[in-house]
Structure 1
Amino acid sequence: MASVTPPRGMRDFLPADKARRERVLAVIRERYRAHGFDEIETPVMEEYARLHAGIGGDNEKLAYNVLKRGLDAEAIRAAAEDPSALTDLGLRYDLTVPLARFYATNRGQLPSVFRSIQIAPVWRAERPQKGRYRQFVQCDIDIIGDASGRAEAELAVATLDTLDALGLTGGSIRINDRRILDAMLEGFGFAPDERPGVLITIDKLDKVGPSGVIAELTGRGADPAAVRALGAFLERPQTREHIPFGSAHIRRALPDGIPDRPVEDLAAIGDAVAASRAERDVPLVFDPFLVRGMGYYTGTIMELAHPSVDYSLGGGGRYDGMIGRFLGQDVPAVGFSIGFERIVDLVGEQTASAAPAVVLVHDRDADLGALLTLKSRLVAEGSRVRLEQRTKNLKALLERAANDGYTAFGLVGADASDLEVKPLG
């Protein structure tokens, strides 16, 4: 007998779970739209060559590829060592690569500065584990066509506002810039060709600590003098006096010799975000070793944090070079993605629908026309209504309705004339 469980790393959602997910998505959509973003939709599949163009980082290795139609056994054997000869399409592993292709295709119909929303599932051939799935939803906002820090500030403000609207107040955004990282590695003495590998190791700093980073770089044969310089910086004494987010704050966390431009750009983003959050602390935290693994980032990089958990709830950054790969001319772009699967588990019933939800428990012989009249009247008044035939165990029926999100019930007799609605629970 065939298995009835979903594929590993993929899930079914019962009605109550699905309803909660949709309530959270509705809040996210409403907040994004309130900040001037417009929703688009792209196909779940893209061309194999586009998904494997060297811009998706390690995610390219996790792409689900679609076998070409019409291949016979001989053709499959002949192409066994060349995946590109076997496949011509693949499921999207993120929403950024499809967005770049979308913009290149439709730019003539879009404004010069385009603010997009994409909320959709993506697929990665991950090793399934707690909190890591093979199919999951991403909630992206992107700004294409604006090279200034205004775009990053808009994304940060919209993201933090959305988190607040979900009842997760107190969020913050860790921020860095790839230009700063590159300047730091150059200053430590790492050659350009070894810097991508060094960044991969530095990205593990939170998990393995300074000693683990140094040990891994040494084991990989990185330049010994550069490794020593990095190690000395990681182990440096640090003071804890408070300096408001800004140029001085950022400089205090960096070695000497970092160019002014990226530092001033980050400080300006902080000023803009602070202005929108009246009488609150600036919710930006500079992290000189925030890396984020995507190879397409060219400038600012960001991660969303919340004090209730020790992992990020989303992230993004500037990817000015990606659209040019499809268009033949560079177009500035920056985006931020909320980690929906992580956030939905943190959100309580703050997002519950305010509309009443009523279950009408009717006798077996209740008049159908009268029943539907009652239901239609309640629906017209703004209620969600379910019809349930009365069972011997009324308590169990009402408990199930409550678990499905219903807040009230009414008992309907044979003539379905009178109705008294009472709260559940």
Structure 2
Amino acid sequence: MRDFLPADKARRERVLAIIRDRYRAHGFDEIETPVVEDYDRLHAGIGGDNEKISFSVLRRGLDADGIRAAAEDPAALADLGLRYDLTVPLARFYASHRGELPGVFRAIQIAPVWRAERPQKGRYRQFVQCDIDIIGDASARAEAELIAATLDTLAALGLEGATVRINDRRALDAMLGAFGFTPEERPGVLITIDKLDKVGPEGVAAELRERGVSASAVDAFAAFLRRPRAAAGPFGEEHIRRELPEGIADDVVAHLVALGIAVAEARSLGDEGAVPLVFDPFLVRGMGYYTGTIFELAHPSVAYSLGGGGRYDGMIGRFLGTDVPAVGFSIGFERIVDLVEAGEDAAVPAVVLVHDRDVPLPQLLGLKAALVAEGARVRLEQRTKNLRALLERAAADGYASFATVSTATTRETLELKPLG
């Protein structure tokens, strides 16, 4: 959990403003949910490993005897918890307010979340997520809108050239079934497959054998990984089927193909071969609530993902009693903000008024009010012996110009000079 100095905070807010603007331009509306949710909801078995590193809130009113009695049962000790993502709160929000929302609801959530991570570079216990979700649309149009809005947002941040890796959890499950893994073995197998980029095909096969899963299935999977592969082609049915074993359901492939066509149209490409999608049959994503399409955001400047998401059609039904299709895409803000080039809002001049000690307060505030009325951002600073250090500090805080003020200074005689 970090503090942010003024310059860092200003930069973060500039990036957030661009993200909000692009999301809204694509028809999404921002909502807000509480930072805490019911413990049982956060630990319903749908949050994957995040449930293990969530922060819980101790029940009010427990005395020492009560704490000792409940020590072996986390649910008896805590009834609330800090949210570890924004998807579970959104599902609860929609279930609570469905009657007040449109049939297809496009939501923006930009807010902090908390996870009891082991602190290290790039991993924080409090961080901001930037989510867009579409609830109520089961078609590929929903995924296409999310992808188009996300790519447009990255371009607005100066991060052109992003691509989206695509897979489908249904295709993954069918593929594991085709190799011979039993339904009981598949969750553990997926955990191992998710390490493919790190340990390679041989490492994955070795770990699967250590897991003790069906040996014949591991052999079939290892052979599939070793097969000769043609050069990557444009995103489309031919390429998708070439990357999958035989027997994958036609409707799953058709959904992915329709997604590529829709993204091409959404981005005004007019040619599905130009769409910035990459089919990855081994993309897993660890959240337990994904039921269909899954995706991750990649950029050539970094080796790690900048965001991701997927379809979670079964989650809202847990709260509502009726299944509602839903899909979301989350940008990893803490990773994005480090890649965006620093910049200032040129439309708002920022001025430091350096005044002598004897300048009357009404005169100072009058000068400041006049500049503020003209649209400037203004800071008052009393002159110090080390004027250079004062001005360097102001420049570091984002101020672009300064003026010296004496008892004789008026708005007409105020002379602005550039900093730096």
Q: Shared fold (TM-score greater than 0.5)?
A: yes
Shift of 1:276: 3.1
Distance 2:32 2:344 in 1: 25
Shift of 1:83: 0.6
Structure-1 residue corresponding to 2:42 = 51
Structure-2 residue corresponding to 1:287 = 280
SS at match of 1:349: coil
Query: Where do residues 289-304 of structure 1 align in structure 2 (5 Å cutoff)?
Result: 289-304=282-297
Structure-2 residue corresponding to 1:361 = 354
SS at match of 2:363: helix
Structure-2 residue corresponding to 1:80 = 71
Does the 8 Å contact 1:166/1:351 carry over to 2? no
Provide the alpha-carbon RMSD of the alignment: 1.2
5+ unaligned residues in a row in structure 1: which ranges? 1-9
Distance 1:34 1:211 in 2: 46
Query: Where do residues 365-376 of structure 1 align in structure 2 (5 Å cutoff)?
Result: 365-376=358-369
Does the 8 Å contact 1:371/1:416 carry over to 2? no
Does the 8 Å contact 1:23/1:353 carry over to 2? no
Does the 8 Å contact 2:209/2:218 carry over to 1? yes
Within the alignment, does 1:313 sit opposite 2:303 as a pair?
no
Shift of 1:378: 1.6
Within the alignment, does 1:424 sit opposite 2:419 as a pair?
yes
What is the aligned length?
415
Shift of 1:267: 1.3
SS at match of 2:337: helix
Distance 2:150 2:333 in 1: 12
Does the 8 Å contact 1:79/1:85 carry over to 2? yes
Structure-2 residue corresponding to 1:5 = none
Structure-1 residue corresponding to 2:266 = 276
Structure-2 residue corresponding to 1:233 = 224
Does the 8 Å contact 2:104/2:136 carry over to 1? yes
Does the 8 Å contact 1:292/1:301 carry over to 2? yes
Shift of 1:390: 1.0
Partner residue of 2:8 out of 2, 10, 17:
17
Distance 2:54 2:152 in 1: 32
Q: Which amino acid aligns with 1:49?
A: D
Residue 394 to residue 64, structure 1, CA distance change in 2 (3 Å)? same
Q: Which amino acid aligns with 1:419?
A: L
Distance 2:258 2:368 in 1: 56
Distance 2:373 2:186 in 1: 63
Within the alignment, does 1:195 sit opposite 2:216 as a pair?
no
Distance 2:246 2:155 in 1: 37
Structure-2 residue corresponding to 1:162 = 153
The C-alpha deviation readout for 1:260-288, integer Å capped at 9, x for no partner, is 11111111111111123345831111111
Distance 1:152 1:351 in 2: 33
Within the alignment, does 1:61 sit opposite 2:56 as a pair?
no
5+ unaligned residues in a row in structure 2: which ranges? none
Within the alignment, does 1:215 sit opposite 2:206 as a pair?
yes
Distance 2:408 2:347 in 1: 31
Does the 8 Å contact 2:70/2:76 carry over to 1? yes
Normalising by the residue count of structure 1, what TM-score does the alignment of the two structures yield?
Answer: 0.96
Distance 2:225 2:276 in 1: 24
Structure-2 residue corresponding to 1:406 = 399
Structure-1 residue corresponding to 2:385 = 392
Residue 255 to residue 352, structure 1, CA distance change in 2 (3 Å)? farther
Does the 8 Å contact 1:37/1:115 carry over to 2? yes
Does the 8 Å contact 1:65/1:91 carry over to 2? yes
Distance 1:180 1:375 in 2: 63
Query: Where do residues 87-166 of structure 1 align in structure 2 (5 Å cutoff)?
Result: 87-166=78-157
- Return 326-335 or 264-273, whichever deviates more: 264-273
Shift of 1:166: 0.5
SS at match of 2:297: strand
Q: Which amino acid aligns with 1:146?
A: D
Q: Which amino acid aligns with 1:400?
A: R
Query: Where do residues 323-362 of structure 1 align in structure 2 (5 Å cutoff)?
Result: 323-350=316-343, 352=345, 354-362=347-355
Distance 1:149 1:321 in 2: 17
Does the 8 Å contact 2:145/2:266 carry over to 1? no
Q: How many percent of aligned residue pairs carry the same amino acid?
A: 76
The C-alpha deviation readout for 1:94-147, integer Å capped at 9, x for no partner, is 000000000000111101110001111000011111000011000000000001
Normalising by the residue count of structure 2, what TM-score does the alignment of the two structures yield?
Answer: 0.97
Q: Which amino acid aligns with 2:250?
A: D
Distance 2:131 2:188 in 1: 28
Q: Which amino acid aligns with 1:82?
A: D
Q: Which amino acid aligns with 1:45?
A: V
